[in-house]
């Protein structure tokens, strides 16, 4: 399986580190906005080709599939371009920043029959897989999810502290993780409310947001998001259910008393990004729909669209 990766920044390298661990996978092309970065990353991961243009990778015979870690605003157009070129594609979250663009990607996937997967990593984190397995087994039903997504990000910076060429978004990016996860764990969302705080004078986006969700099962979710939080950073999930409480922090899980739960045997790795990439590769090899396919996650983007209309 020969992979091109577009967007060789902080998150792109997380994918490359995961792909290294999957048998039969070769990184053949690296695409980045800066040529020197593309060359450096290509050399580090053994890719024979690098460029600043995605089209260069799509034209190559030694590229079977593409992973897009590019700016949000480019995701939908680039995903469609990949499928037009006959390449399977995994788009990092979010799929798009508009409902129309999200629908267009699904339409193209249905036309081509290619694998198109979206990087909704929470479905793959061992901590959330553990809870999901309990739900599927009928051992746990969610009453409420309480989620905090907190960053201190008042400038366009990535996870490495490097300048970004694009503006991140609490609703279309960070809320997408929880909206999709809540539906995945509790069932279809039937009600959604949102309010936002003041917009940043330079970035032009809301820096704080509060979202309420309700599933058809009756379960509810409260999501708080902030780019203003100068404290512990990241996303923290509290599952309150009928048989217990679980708190998930990325790939780690504890119960309501903060006692650790061993999730090391849930899957073949403790790295959610690696597990996500393993699913992408396996779906291509097996000719099947992946978990977190564009069709499966599309309802999330309809909810985000409906929430945006409330602002």
pLDDT at 165: 60
18: number of Cβ within 10 Å? 20
Cα gap 262→206, rounded to integer Å: 37
Cα gap 197→260, rounded to integer Å: 35
Task: Give the closest residue to 143 by CA, choosing from 211, 55, 217, 36.
Answer: 217
Question: Tens digits of per-residue pLDDT, 24-65?
Answer: 999 999 999 999 999 999 999 999 999 999 999 999 999 999
Question: Tens digits of per-residue pLDDT, 283-295?
Answer: 999 999 999 999 9
Complete domains list, the chain, with CATH: 2-121+273-291 (3.40.50.720), 125-266 (3.30.360.10)
SS3 85: coil
pLDDT at 107: 98
Cα gap 105→225, rounded to integer Å: 27
Task: Give the closest residue to 194 by CA, choosing from 181, 175, 177.
Answer: 175
pLDDT at 157: 63
Low-confidence ranges of the chain (pLDDT < 50): none
pLDDT at 251: 82
**Do residues 228 and 154 touch, judged by C-beta distance below 8 A?**
yes
Radius of gyration of the chain (CA): 19
**Do residues 234 and 150 touch, judged by C-beta distance below 8 A?**
yes
pLDDT at 154: 75
Task: Give the closest residue to 20 by CA, choosing from 44, 54, 56.
Answer: 44
pLDDT at 156: 64
The pTM score is 0.94
> Hey, what are 115's tokens?
């694998």
Cα gap 290→205, rounded to integer Å: 33
Task: Give the closest residue to 67 by CA, choosing from 14, 104, 129.
Answer: 14
SS3 76: helix
pLDDT at 169: 87
Q: Give the chain's largest Cα–Cα span.
A: 54
């Amino acid at each position: 399986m020969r992979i091109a990766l577009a967007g060789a920044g902080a998150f792109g390298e997380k994918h490359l580190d995961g792909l290294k661990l999957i048998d039969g996978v070769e990184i053949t092309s690296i695409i980045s906005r800066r040529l020197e970065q593309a060359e450096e990353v290509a050399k580090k991961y053994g890719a024979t080709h690098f460029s600043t243009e995605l089209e260069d990778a799509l034209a190559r015979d030694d590229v079977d599939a593409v992973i897009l870690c590019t700016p949000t605003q480019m995701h939908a157009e680039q995903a469609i371009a990949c499928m037009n070129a006959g390449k399977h594609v995994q788009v990092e979250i979010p799929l798009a920043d508009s409902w129309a663009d999200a629908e267009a990607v699904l339409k193209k996937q249905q036309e081509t029959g290619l694998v198109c997967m979206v990087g909704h990593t929470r479905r793959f984190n061992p901590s959330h897989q553990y809870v999901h397995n309990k739900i599927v087994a009928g051992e746990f039903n969610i009453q409420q999810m309480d989620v905090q997504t907190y960053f201190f990000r008042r400038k366009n910076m990535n996870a490495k502290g490097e300048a970004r060429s694009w503006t991140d978004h609490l609703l279309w990016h960070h809320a997408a993780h929880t909206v999709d996860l809540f539906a995945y764990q509790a069932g279809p969302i039937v009600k959604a409310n949102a309010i936002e705080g003041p917009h940043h004078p330079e970035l032009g986006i809301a820096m704080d947001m509060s979202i309420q969700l309700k599933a058809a099962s009756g379960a509810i979710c409260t999501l708080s998001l902030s780019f203003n939080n100068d404290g512990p950073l990241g996303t923290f999930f509290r599952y309150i259910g009928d048989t217990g409480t679980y708190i998930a922090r990325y790939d780690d899980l504890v119960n309501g008393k903060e006692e650790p739960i061993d999730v090391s045997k849930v899957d073949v790795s403790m790295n959610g990004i690696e597990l996500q990439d393993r699913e992408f590769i396996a779906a291509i090899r097996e000719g099947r729909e992946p978990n977190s396919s564009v069709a499966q996650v599309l309802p999330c983007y309809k909810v985000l669209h409906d929430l945006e209309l409330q602002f």
